[in-house]
Amino acid sequence: MSGLKYSKDHEWLRVEGDSATMGISDYAQEQLGDIVYVELPAVGRKVKAAEQIAVVESVKAASEVYAPVTGEVIAANDKLAENPGLVNSAPTGEGWFVKLKLADPGELAGLMDEAAYRDFVASLA
């Protein structure tokens, strides 16, 4: 198990103490196809859970990305500006979007673990 938490909007979080790294799931990047552009928020931006935090554009469509939890952006993955394809090749690795300082760690309880997310994705087919 990877220790990732997932939202129903197909975002993932890797929690590290009082912060978390966030991106979109492998399923989400597969649905989008080849990603050609990623718009990330500025460091210091505060976001609420379920609020738009980023935009991803692929050859198929543009898609909004939502914050799975409330927090403050403490880092953005600048590599995505020059190489948005990292989201396709390594969605839960080098293709991460932002790091958030968690405002309410209790919100993590509302997210799915990897097994529950896999079942959720299977139910979409």
**Domain edges within the chain:** 5-104
pTM above 0.75, yes or no: yes
Q: How many Å apart are CA 100 and CA 122, to the nearest integer?
A: 29
Instruction: State the pLDDT at residue 8.
Output: 97
Instruction: State the pLDDT at residue 112.
Output: 98
The letter for the amino acid at 114 is E
Give the number of other CB atoms < 10 A from CB of residue 121. 17
Report the pLDDT averaged over residues 67-79: 98
Q: Which class does domain 5-104 fall in?
A: mainly beta
